[in-house]
């Protein structure tokens, strides 16, 4: 250990975790100027000076079957991290989401006396409750993004801090539809649909064709409709372009964007979105949406066997405690079903206005200056002398 240097190890496993972690790093750097950060991270974390021992993309795999295909590589990364972190322990370890990867690593580190924090509560409210005991054995504190989560942990005696959601701090409360359309060069009165088929290559493999076929059905009903498809990486863009060829949709008004997901959603009248963090982004941007998700058939079968507590998976529905936006999962996620649901929303201004009002209220509830609260919670988990130094700075 270098004298005077505070070492913070972190592991983020996907793009949303990269964003959360980069904001937390920035907030911690303001209070801990001598801190260094290392582990597994993405480009936003690297932009804050993070030392990535392994790239985030190696862990960005979803679904049981998909994980099995990459198991050897993922297990190798975890073994390498465990070896290096135990040989030269950090002052604190922060697992950012990715519970399937992080919780096992955190348990080992905690047993060796390393302070472990898990940023983003795993979905204990959706799956079998026994998972909470695994979390309690792995972490010194959970940083929860949603207001209903702390009570669940408090009942089990697990330290928890509600920090709010960083996306609610980042995204504007007011509707930015017109400015987004101007930025993207879109007619203000056009019918615009945003299609977000996922940020992972595995998601594109299962959903790209369905999303394109859905757009073709809408285009048949609204010939002047425009479709925006923001894609996160070169690899996902290539996969989507290949799907356009398969569906013979190259000549249709489907515009691919490199990034600009928020602008695409803001510009849209209605959004078709793969289940995940993007559903919350759409809600915070006050956009009516339809949620769809597909995965490998075996992964879906295993999920059905495990079972869960909730009948919905989209975050807007979870946070509302009821279905407020349509969800179509696996076999129900057909182009016909999705197109009809999107057209119904587009045509019903009353329903859309009601959704926007609910999304605004949600936005204000989640807007808690999350990165600052998370940073203070992390500092509270540091050894006493380090925590005192941080408070003084």
Query: What pLDDT tens digit does each residue of the chain (393 aa) get?
Result: 445 789 999 999 887 889 899 999 999 999 999 999 999 998 999 999 999 998 776 565 554 444 555 557 778 888 999 999 999 999 999 999 888 889 999 999 999 999 999 999 988 766 555 678 899 999 999 999 999 899 999 999 999 999 999 999 999 999 899 999 999 999 999 999 999 998 777 788 888 999 999 999 999 999 999 999 999 888 889 999 999 999 998 788 999 999 899 999 999 999 999 978 899 999 999 999 999 988 766 666 666 665 555 577 889 998 998 999 999 988 899 999 999 999 999 999 999 999 999 999 999 999 999 999 999 999 999 876 555 455 545
Q: What's residue 119's pLDDT?
A: 97
pLDDT of 338 reads 98
Residue 332 is classified by DSSP as G
Q: Residue 322, class by beta-carbon neighbours within 10 Å (0-12 exposed, 13-18 middle, 19+ buried)?
A: exposed
| Alpha-carbon gap, residue 291 to 298, rounded angstroms | 21
| One fold for 6-164+368-387 and 170-366 | yes
pLDDT of residue 1: 41
How do 6-12 and 115-119 pair as beta strands?
Answer: unpaired
Distance (Å, whole) CA 280 – CA 72? 32
**What is the architecture, at CATH level 2, of domain 170-366?**
3-Layer(aba) Sandwich (3.40)
Nearest-angstrom CA–CA distance, 237 and 229? 9
- pLDDT in the model for residue 203: 83
Residues 98 and 38: their CA atoms lie apart, in Å, by 16
pLDDT at 2: 47
Whole-number pLDDT of residue 144: 96
| 6-164+368-387 is classed CATH 3.40.50.2000 | yes
**pLDDT given for residue 78 in this prediction:** 87
| Domain locations in the chain as residue ranges | 6-164+368-387, 170-366
Q: How far apart are CA 95 and CA 240, in angstroms?
A: 31
Q: What per-residue confidence (pLDDT) applies to 58?
A: 59
Cα dihedral value 360, 188, 228, 43, nearest 10: -60
CB atoms under 10 Å from CB of 178, counted, come to 12
């Amino acid at each position: 250990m270098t004298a005077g240097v505070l070492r913070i190890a972190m592991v983020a496993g996907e793009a949303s975790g990269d964003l959360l972690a980069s904001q937390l790093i920035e907030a911690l750097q303001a209070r801990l100027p001598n801190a260094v950060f290392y582990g597994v991270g993405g480009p936003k974390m690297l932009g804050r000076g993070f030392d990535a021992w392994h790239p985030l993309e190696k862990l960005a795999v979803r679904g049981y079957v998909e994980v099995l295909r990459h198991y050897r590589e993922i297990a190798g990364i975890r073994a390498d991290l465990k070896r290096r972190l135990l040989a030269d322990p950090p002052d604190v370890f922060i697992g950012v989401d990715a519970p399937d990867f992080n919780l096992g690593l955190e348990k080992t580190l905690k047993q060796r006396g390393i302070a472990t924090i898990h940023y983003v509560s795993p979905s204990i409210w959706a799956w079998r409750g026994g998972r909470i005991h695994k979390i309690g054995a792995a972490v010194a504190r959970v940083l929860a993004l949603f207001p209903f989560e702390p009570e669940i942990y408090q009942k089990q005696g697990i330290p928890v801090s509600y920090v709010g959601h960083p996306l609610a701090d980042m995204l504007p409360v007011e509707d930015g539809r017109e400015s987004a359309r101007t930025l993207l060069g879109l007619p203000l009165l056009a019918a615009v649909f945003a299609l977000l088929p996922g940020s992972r290559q595995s998601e594109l493999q299962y959903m790209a064709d369905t999303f394109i076929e859905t757009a073709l059905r809408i285009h048949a009903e609204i010939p002047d409709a425009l479709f925006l498809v923001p894609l996160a990486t070169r690899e996902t863009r290539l996969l989507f372009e290949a799907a356009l060829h398969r569906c013979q949709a190259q000549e249709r008004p489907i515009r691919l964007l490199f990034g600009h997901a928020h602008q695409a959603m803001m510009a849209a009248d209605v959004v078709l979105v793969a289940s995940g963090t993007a559903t919350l982004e759409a809600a915070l941007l006050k956009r009516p949406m339809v949620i769809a998700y597909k995965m490998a058939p075996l992964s879906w079968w295993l999920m059905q066997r495990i079972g869960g507590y909730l009948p919905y998976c989209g975050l807007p529905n979870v946070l509302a405690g009821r279905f407020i936006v349509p969800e179509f999962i696996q076999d129900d996620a057909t182009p016909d079903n999705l197109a009809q649901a999107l057209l119904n929303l587009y045509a019903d201004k009353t329903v859309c206005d009601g959704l926007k009002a609910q999304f605004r209220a949600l936005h204000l509830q989640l807007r808690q200056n999350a990165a600052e609260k998370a940073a203070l919670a992390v500092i509270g988990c540091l050894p006493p002398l380090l925590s005192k130094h941080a408070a003084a700075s």
